[in-house]
């Protein structure tokens, strides 16, 4: 499981969106990015659909996920 607490682009606030990891400053769950990508959306699609999320945040989340795969 990823340790999202080490990713500066996300936050978790008790009581906000059921305590899910969110893109910082938004109510958009990080899981929404991965769900949309799995369904064939592009990063540009995601950014269009969730205008409160910055490209830099998406890039940071994807980098964090990628780094977690290479750490053994």
CATH of the domain at 21: 1.10.10.10
Phi-psi region of 8 (alpha: psi -120 to 50; beta: other; left: phi over 0): alpha
Q: Which domain holds residue 59?
A: 4-70
- 8 is written with which tokens? 């500066």
Distance CA 46, CA 55 (A): 9
pLDDT value for 35 = 98
**Is 53 in a helix, a strand, or coil?**
coil
List Cα–Cα distances, 57 to 2, 10, 44, 72, in angstroms: 16, 8, 13, 25
The total number of structural domains that make up the chain: 1
pLDDT tens string 16-56: 999 999 999 999 999 999 999 999 999 999 999 999 999 99
């Amino acid at each position: 499981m990823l340790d999202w607490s080490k990713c500066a682009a996300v936050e978790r606030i008790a009581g906000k969106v059921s305590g899910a990891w969110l893109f910082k400053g938004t109510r958009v769950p990080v899981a929404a990015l991965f769900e949309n990508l799995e369904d064939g959306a592009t990063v540009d699609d995601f950014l269009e659909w969730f205008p409160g999320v910055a490209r830099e945040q998406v890039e940071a989340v994807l980098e964090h996920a990628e780094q977690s795969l290479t750490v053994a």
